Amino acid sequence: MAVDAPAAATTASEMSMSRRVGAAWEWTAGAGCWGRVAMAWSSAVAGSAAAAQTAQARSVRVGDRRMAGFSLMIMTNQYQNGKATTARTMLAVSDDLETLLRTRQAERTTQFAGGTTSAWRLCDVASGAPCTVDWYDGAAVAYEKAGATAAPDAALIARALAIPIDHVFVKQRRQQKDRQHGGQYQVVARAQAERTVREQGLRFAVNLSDYLDTGLFLDHRPLRRTVGRLANGRRVLNLFAYTGAFTVHAAAGGARETTTVDLSNTYLRWAEHNLAINQLRGQHRMIKADCLRWLGESRGATYDLIICDPPTFSNSKAMARSWEVGRDQEWLLGRLWTLLAPGGTAWFSTNKQGFTLTAKLPAFTSVEDITAETIDTDFAGTTPHRCWRLRR
């Protein structure tokens, strides 16, 4: 693959440096291996007397060092009239998404060996990839990167993952004028694509084509595992419950009873279906309600475990007022404290960027930021959410 060499240098030293970098990059681009890129670049730089004198000023940045072949930005020092000035040289390389997906799929297959989990993240724009791709047991969902000029290449993704092209579902980021008729992404594929995936031995129904989200938020897998582990004999409340994945894990873990609250009848029926396909019976109550109003009106009942993963913002007509997690968190956490039984645990999670937990907290016995332990290895290098454990 031909790659343009860096711009010509104005001194013999710079010319030597330029030739070394260009030669090193042409060799490594063909190799397609980040490890060789790093070694060759290091070798090229070491051969330049000028660069050696100012090693502390050099840096190499590749969005995420686990990403091979996206872009290489080299900060070099050019000397003019004896003074150092910083120049930025971009060595553009064609996106090697196909190689990345094949590598990641092999890693994930090993990571989740045993067949108890069959849905995971393959790559993420937050760590430098050109699009986000999730795997759902034989199918893939690709989300377009913000500002992208072209949609993810479904044929390339299908080829990399060895699946039919009609098993790839692309969702493009488009501004929506009406929040009630679409969200952050526009769904490209419209043919209904429902399937069942596994997570830690449990089964979950997902729909890859008809909604903005699939029915299972993959980033919360570790927290669902924790809830299932602690649920035995406990009363569990799942707020803003979506399709009830936390409820399923709690029920499978032996919860004495579960209460699942969500505004959508569609999602509550989905949650009931998820319980049914796992043959989980018992006291599992579904409540269709605006969670904020329900929290304000709930009296008497307390719960041993509470999961609260509210939306960042909502102005649904079915809600009494708009909701913004930063603005309304103090009231929300106060209501969680009221509903939490002595000795109980609540988990509060948000994906709002830049969120800061209020200092005006109720009298929880402990408040711990447990974000790191709630992010699995397929999301390493990203922060899809923040999470706190609250105890009373």
Give the pLDDT score at 78: 30
Tell me the pLDDT tens digit for each residue of 319-358: 667 879 999 899 999 999 999 999 999 999 999 999 999 8
Residue 278: which residues within 8 A CB-CB, separation 6 or more? Answer: 202, 203, 248, 251, 252
Average pLDDT, the chain: 78
pLDDT exceeds cutoff 50 at 12: no
In CATH, which of 3.30.70.580, 3.30.750.80, 3.40.1190.20, 3.40.640.10 is domain 97-199? 3.30.750.80
pLDDT exceeds cutoff 70 at 92: no
Task: Give the strand pairing for 119-123 and 131-136.
Answer: antiparallel
What span, in angstroms and rounded, lies between the C-alpha atoms of 272 and 262?
12
User: For the residues 29-50, what does the mean pLDDT come to?
Assistant: 37
What are φ and ψ of residue 223, in 5° steps?
A: -70, -35
> In this predicted structure, which of 71-80, 214-223, 298-307 has the lowest mean pLDDT?
71-80
Give the pLDDT score at 173: 66
Give the pLDDT score at 150: 82
What are φ and ψ of residue 348, in 5° steps?
A: -115, 125
Give the CA-trace dihedral at 203, 207, 213, 219, to 10 degrees. 20
What span, in angstroms and rounded, lies between the C-alpha atoms of 40 and 91?
14
If one compares 42 and 223, the residue with the highest pLDDT of the two is 223
If one compares 8 and 128, the residue with the highest pLDDT of the two is 128
Tell me the pLDDT tens digit for each residue of 160-175: 999 999 999 999 865 5
Q: Are 370 and 357 in contact (CB under 8 A)?
A: no
pLDDT band at 178, cuts 50/70/90?
Answer: very low
pLDDT exceeds cutoff 70 at 25: no
What span, in angstroms and rounded, lies between the C-alpha atoms of 213 and 203?
17
Q: Are 119 and 195 in contact (CB under 8 A)?
A: no
- Tokens describing residue 261: 């609250």
- Domain regions of the chain by residue span: 12-92, 97-199, 217-391
pLDDT exceeds cutoff 80 at 151: yes
Q: What is the pTM of this model?
A: 0.74
pLDDT band at 77, cuts 50/70/90?
Answer: very low
User: For the residues 53-65, what does the mean pLDDT come to?
Assistant: 32
Q: Are 267 and 244 in contact (CB under 8 A)?
A: yes
pLDDT band at 9, cuts 50/70/90?
Answer: very low
User: For the residues 33-52, what does the mean pLDDT come to?
Assistant: 37
- Identical fold at 97-199 and 217-391? no
Q: Indicate the residue type of 142.
A: A
pLDDT band at 95, cuts 50/70/90?
Answer: low
Dihedral sign, CA of 153, 154, 157, 159?
negative
What span, in angstroms and rounded, lies between the C-alpha atoms of 142 and 119?
13
- Using alpha carbons only, what angle is made at residue 19 by residues 15 and 22, rounded to the nearest 5 degrees? 135
Tell me the pLDDT tens digit for each residue of 231-289: 999 999 999 999 999 999 999 999 999 999 999 999 999 999 999 999 999 999 999 99
pLDDT band at 191, cuts 50/70/90?
Answer: low
* Phi-psi map region of 215: left, alpha, beta (phi>0 left; psi -120 to 50 alpha): left
Burial 56-92 (b: 16+ CB within 10 A, else e): eebeeebbbebbbbbbbebebbbbeeeeeeeeebebe
For 18, the 3-state DSSP assignment is helix
The CATH superfamily assigned to 217-391 is Vaccinia Virus protein VP39 (3.40.50.150)
Tell me the pLDDT tens digit for each residue of 215-227: 999 999 999 999 9
